[in-house]
Amino acid sequence: MRLILKTNDPVQLDYAQAVLRDAGIGAVVFDGAMSVMEGSVGVLPRRLMVADEDEAEARAILTEALGAKALEPEA
């Protein structure tokens, strides 16, 4: 799995996941359950992960949808 997006913004996270889903790319949110620990105040960012083989395509799609600055740097 590769980190593609890290954000505290649930709207941006849902949008990115929907854009990838529409393109046929599976994405998984990591740290979503951390809201229980931090009280849902949005302090801890959630991570959007994609399969290694989908990273390049996911980056291209999300760069167009969100802008390059929104994405995490490539590892």
Question: Above 90 in pLDDT, residue 51?
Answer: yes
Closest CA relative to residue 16, chosen from 8, 27, 3, 24: 27
Residue 14 token pair: 């849902």
Looking at residue 16, its pLDDT comes to 97
CB 12 within 8 A of CB 71: no
Determine the Cα–Cα distance for residues 19 and 44; give it in Å rounded to an integer. 23
The pLDDT tens digits of the residues spanning 17-41 come to: 999 999 999 999 998 777 666 566 6
Please report the pLDDT score of residue 36 as a whole number: 60
Position 72 scores a pLDDT of: 84
- Residue 65 pLDDT class (50, 70, 90 cuts): very high
Residue ranges of domains in the chain, CATH in brackets:
2-70 (3.30.70.790)
Cβ atoms of residues 46 and 5 within 8 Å? no
Query: What percent of the chain has pLDDT above 90?
Result: 64
pLDDT at position 25 is: 98
